[in-house]
Amino acid sequence: MPADANTRPAREKLWTVAELLQWTCDRFTREGLDEPRTDALHLLSQALGCERMQIYLRFDQQVDEPARATLRDLIRRRLAREPVAYIAGKRGFHALGLDLHVDPRVLIPRPETEHLVDWLLSGLPFAQSPVHVLDVGTGSGAIALAVKHNRRDVHVVACDHSDDALAVARDNATRLGLELELLRSDLLASVPRPEAGFDAIAANLPYIPTADIAGLQPEVVRFEPHLALDGGPDGLDLVRRLIHDAPPLLAPGAHLYLEIGVGQAEATRAALAQRGFIDIATRRDLAGIERIVAGTWP
C-alpha cells in the first residue's frame, strides 16, 4: 500500500495479505484509532471478500489491484472516522449468526446491551399461554431479535419513534427469518396492552446528557443519530418517562429492564422505587459500570 491512502504505490508490485494488514494497522495506529489491528482485519477481510479468520490462512497470498483499490476506499472512510460497522453495513450481536444490518439511521449495537438481553432471558417464564416481551426504542431491533432468536415461543413487540429505525428493524427481522410485531410509538403512547400484560419490557433509550454529546468520539458525533443519543440535561428524561408509563402495560410480577449510562444507576433505582417497583437490582458490564437496572412490578 502507499504511504497515503490517497496515492498509488511508488513501486509496482503485488502486496501480500500480511503486508497489507501490517500497513493498514500501522496507519491506523499513527492516527490514534482505538483498535487498529481489529479495524484493519475487518476492512481487509471485507476487501478480500472473506471471513476474518481466513486472513491468517492467506498471509502469503498476493492481492491484486482491484482488491487493493477497494481496501484503499475502505481505509479512507475509516480515517474519516466512519465506524467499521457502518462501513461493513452489519454488526454481530449476542449470538453467532445474528448479524444485524446497521447504517446511520440507527445506533450501532454495543456489547453492553447483551447483558440486558441475558438478564431478560433468564427471567422469562416458560408457560403454555403466550409470553409477551416489549422492546422500547428498538433501533436496529437488536434486543427484540436476540430475544426472539433465543425464545421462538415468545411474542415480541418492538417499537420506535423513528420510521427510519423501524425500517432497519423490519429488514433485519425479515432477513433473519424472525417474527416481530413492529409499532411506531413515542415510547409507550401507541403500544396496546396484551390481555395479560407484558411479562418484560426492555429499553436501551437515549441516555447521554445533552452537554456531553459534543465530547463523544468522532465516530459517534459525526455518524450516529443524535436522536438516539440525547437523553436530556442529565440523560434520564426518557428513562423517567418510561418508568412512569410502564406499569399499566405490565403483568403482575413482570420486569422492566433499563440500560443506562455512567453514574445514572442511583437515580434510576430511585425513580423505580418511587413509582412502586420492587426487587430493584443492578448489573455491571465488563468494565464494572452499573449498566442495567431492573425492577419488578408487584
Same domain, 168 and 239: yes
Nearest to 145 by CA among 209, 73, 95, 210: 95
Would you give the distance in Å from CA 108 to the centre of its chain?
4
pLDDT in tens, 84-121: 999 999 999 998 779 999 999 999 999 999 999 999 99
Same domain, 103 and 244: yes
> Which one of 26, 55, 80 terminates a domain?
80
Flag whether 112 is in a domain: yes
Residue 13's pLDDT band (boundaries 50, 70, 90)?
A: low
User: Locate cell 449468526: which residue?
Assistant: 97
Flag whether 88 is in a domain: no
Same domain, 61 and 100: no
Q: What average pLDDT does this structure show over 213-220?
A: 95
pLDDT in tens, 54-87: 898 889 889 999 999 999 999 999 999 999 999 9
- Number of domains comprising the chain: 2
Distance CA 219, CA 70 (A): 21
Say yes or no to pLDDT of 5 above 70. Answer: no
The CA-CA-CA angle for residues 264, 256, 160, to 5°, reads 85
Same domain, 147 and 292: yes
Would the pTM of this model clear 0.85, i.e. be above it?
yes
Nearest to 159 by CA among 191, 195, 132, 129: 191
Distance CA 269, CA 193 (A): 25
Structure confidence at residue 1 (pLDDT)? 56
CB 214 within 8 A of CB 147: no
- CA dihedral angle for residue 116, residue 120, residue 122, residue 127, rounded to 10 degrees: -170
Same domain, 126 and 242: yes
Nearest to 104 by CA among 213, 229, 223, 204: 223
